[in-house]
């Protein structure tokens, strides 16, 4: 059974510690999930610390200790071999003293399954003092592997530590750079709302180092544009309608390349309204493609940056904007880039993330920006910040993109304490 990432909705990832028991772990192992960004199996505690540190700097996740590798596929769980009772204390002590900054450790939960003692190590990325060094190195998790972070990733992790309000996603490659919205007009205010669709896809493991070319960028711009009538990369009907609704009185800019970003490993495109002035509503679209790790993988972001003009974003507008960001990423940007870089777009869609966050430093509360009528009544008091969720991979595989987006938004609403949201129907 091949899966690129486990379903983060499984209770093993989120259940209170006291509810994690043998039946839950046995049921999880029966799924035979492959090692991935957020899952690893270890026979013993010897090499666990490095994996914990990599997950801590990335998505978080689960390490199951006491599980041997499968005889035919080393990435699948095999025989339960168990560990010694003293191994929990050994592991916690080792992590507490070898991690830098010292003192932080994840949850380590002992569970007996079929007379074998297993350790469930659960890493919550929101609790990590990032960047987390292990033996002097910062590592991140990539497709079931631990790799050293390059200088850019380490810098992004330090940014997250300095400004946790902006760190609304667990993957440092997707750290939102809200200041990018002002690169065309530096004196402008940051957006009030950021909606982001994000994806990371490994490209190849050999020595080949892929680069972006002019033809690749041109193909990306064409994929995001309406058929050329004027020679410009005009927005297609769906995105044009979205921009018109936010500010029909403003001129729309076609897709152009950010002049500060256009090298062989990174490009950022922008379209929509010019960055609006004070008390003006507006929306900008940004699509960026990056080839990190020497060109061995591809990161693609599609952002909708909204300025509200002092008003809240309408219910159906922000939900539709979430869908349009995901749709543009999956239907246009990602297939085009994959075809240009690999020669084929006929490969499975990797895990897709959806993020919703405030773009204003010092004002992270989304209820100041979003109309929440469609969310219903909250359970309990308190305010809510940004949301982050993976789209359901089974729905994506079945081509049910509207349902996948709505399901992700329902999960976000649950995190915000809204149990019965009434989201509008989305059309593909």
SS3 of residue 387 by DSSP: strand
| Same-domain status, 386 and 411 | yes
pLDDT of 302 above 80: yes
**pLDDT score at 117:** 97
**pLDDT score at 332:** 95
| Same-domain status, 168 and 256 | yes
In a domain, 6, yes or no: no
In a domain, 382, yes or no: yes
**pLDDT score at 185:** 37
Tens digit of each residue's pLDDT (9 = 90 or more) over 40-62: 999 999 989 999 999 998 878 89
pLDDT of 73 above 60: yes
| Same-domain status, 204 and 118 | no
Tens digit of each residue's pLDDT (9 = 90 or more) over 142-200: 767 888 887 767 776 776 565 433 333 333 333 444 333 333 333 357 788 889 999 88
In a domain, 43, yes or no: yes
pLDDT of 6 above 50: no
**pLDDT score at 191:** 85
Tell me the C-alpha to C-alpha distance, in Å, between residue 219 and each of 183, 199, 252, 312: 23, 19, 21, 36
Backbone phi, psi, residue 143, to 5°: 55, 50
Please say which residue of 98, 120, 148 terminates a domain: 148
pLDDT of 83 above 90: yes
Tokens for 159, please give them.
């940014």
| Same-domain status, 140 and 203 | no
Q: What percent of the chain has pLDDT over 70?
A: 84
In a domain, 320, yes or no: yes
**Ranges 44-48, 54-58, 262-266, 341-345, most confident:** 44-48
**pLDDT score at 107:** 92
Nearest to 258 by CA among 176, 330, 186, 167: 186
Nearest to 389 by CA among 356, 360, 427: 356
Q: Which residues of 346-371 are buried (b: 16+ CB within 10 A; e: fewer)?
A: eeebbbbbbbbbbbbeeebebeebbe
Nearest to 81 by CA among 57, 113, 36: 113
| Same-domain status, 139 and 169 | no
Strand partners, 63: 40, 121
In a domain, 15, yes or no: yes
| Same-domain status, 301 and 364 | yes
The residue-averaged pLDDT of 347-358 equals 85
Strand partners, 69: 77
> What's the structural domain count of the chain?
2
Provide the whole-model pTM. Answer: 0.60
Q: Of residues 303 and 171, which shows the higher confidence score?
A: 303
CB 212 within 8 A of CB 295: no
Under the banding of pLDDT at 50, 70 and 90, the label for residue 102 is: confident
| Same-domain status, 246 and 367 | yes
> The CATH number of the domain where 81 resides is what?
3.30.950.30
Please say which residue of 103, 121, 148 terminates a domain: 148
C-beta atoms surrounding 419 within 10 Å? 12
**pLDDT score at 204:** 64
C-beta atoms surrounding 302 within 10 Å? 25
Under the banding of pLDDT at 50, 70 and 90, the label for residue 8 is: very low
In a domain, 422, yes or no: no
In a domain, 69, yes or no: yes
Please say which residue of 148, 177, 194 terminates a domain: 148
3-state secondary structure 202-254: ECCCCCCCCCCCHHHHHHHHHHCCCCCCCCCCCCCHHHHHHHHHHCCCCCCEE
| Separation CA 36–CA 185 (nearest Å) | 40
Nearest to 271 by CA among 287, 249, 248: 287
**Can you say how many angstroms the Cα of residue 190 is from the centroid of all Cα atoms in its chain?**
21
- The edge-to-edge listing of strands for the beta sheet with 281-290 is 253-263, 266-272, 281-290, 297-308, 193-202, 352-358, 387-390
Q: What is the dihedral of CA 215, 220, 221, 225, to 10 degrees?
A: 130
| Same-domain status, 57 and 185 | no
Q: Which residues of 14-46 are buried (b: 16+ CB within 10 A; e: fewer)?
A: eeeeeebeeebbeebbeeebbbbbbbbbbbbbe
**pLDDT score at 179:** 35
pLDDT of 213 above 70: yes
Tens digit of each residue's pLDDT (9 = 90 or more) over 27-36: 999 988 888 8
The residue-averaged pLDDT of 14-36 equals 88
| Same-domain status, 186 and 133 | no
**pLDDT score at 209:** 65
| Same-domain status, 187 and 253 | yes
- Range(s) of the domain holding residue 117: 11-148
| Same-domain status, 384 and 252 | yes
| Same-domain status, 143 and 278 | no
In a domain, 202, yes or no: yes
- Pairing outcome for strands 193-202 and 352-358: antiparallel
């Amino acid at each position: 059974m091949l899966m690129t990432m486990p379903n983060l909705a499984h209770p093993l990832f989120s259940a209170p510690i006291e509810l994690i028991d043998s039946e839950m772990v046995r049921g999880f192992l029966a799924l035979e999930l492959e090692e991935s960004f957020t899952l690893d199996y270890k026979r013993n505690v010897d090499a666990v610390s490095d994996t914990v540190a990599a997950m801590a700097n990335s998505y978080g996740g689960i390490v199951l200790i006491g599980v041997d590798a499968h005889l035919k596929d080393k990435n699948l769980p095999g025989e339960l071999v168990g560990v010694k009772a003293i191994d929990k204390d050994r592991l916690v002590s080792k992590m507490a003293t070898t991690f830098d900054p010292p003192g932080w450790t994840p949850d380590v939960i002992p569970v007996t399954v079929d007379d074998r003692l297993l350790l469930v190590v659960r890493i919550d990325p929101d609790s990590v003092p990032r960047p987390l060094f292990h033996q002097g190195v910062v590592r991140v998790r990539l497709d079931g592997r631990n790799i050293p972070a390059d200088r850019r990733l380490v810098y992004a992790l330090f940014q997250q530590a300095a400004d946790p309000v902006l760190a609304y996603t667990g993957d440092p490659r997707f750290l939102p750079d809200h200041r990018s919205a002002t690169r065309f007009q530096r004196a402008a205010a940051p957006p009030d709302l950021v909606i982001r669709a994000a994806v990371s896809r490994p490209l190849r493991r050999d020595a080949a180092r892929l680069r972006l070319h002019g033809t690749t960028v041109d193909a990306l711009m064409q994929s995001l544009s309406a058929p050329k009538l004027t020679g410009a990369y005009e927005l297609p009907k769906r995105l044009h309608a979205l921009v018109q609704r936010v500010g029909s009185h403003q001129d729309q800019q076609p897709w152009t390349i950010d002049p500060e970003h256009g090298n062989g490993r990174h490009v950022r495109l922008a379209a929509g309204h010019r960055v609006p002035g004070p008390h003006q509503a507006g929306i900008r679209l940004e699509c960026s493609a990056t080839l990190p790790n020497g060109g061995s993988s591809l990161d693609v972001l599609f952002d909708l940056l909204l300025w509200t003009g002092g008003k809240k974003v309408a219910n159906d507008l922000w939900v539709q904007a979430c869908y349009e960001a995901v749709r543009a990423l999956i239907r246009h940007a990602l297939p085009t880039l994959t075809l240009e870089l690999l020669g084929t777009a006929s490969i499975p869609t990797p895990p897709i993330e959806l993020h919703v966050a405030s773009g204003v430093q010092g004002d992270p509360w989304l209820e100041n920006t979003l109309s929440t009528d469609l969310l219903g009544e909250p359970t309990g008091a308190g305010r809510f910040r940004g949301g982050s969720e993976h789209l359901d991979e089974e729905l994506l595989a079945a081509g049910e993109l509207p349902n996948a987006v709505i399901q992700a938004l329902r999960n976000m609403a649950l995190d915000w304490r809204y149990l019965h949201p009434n989201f509008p129907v989305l059309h593909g």
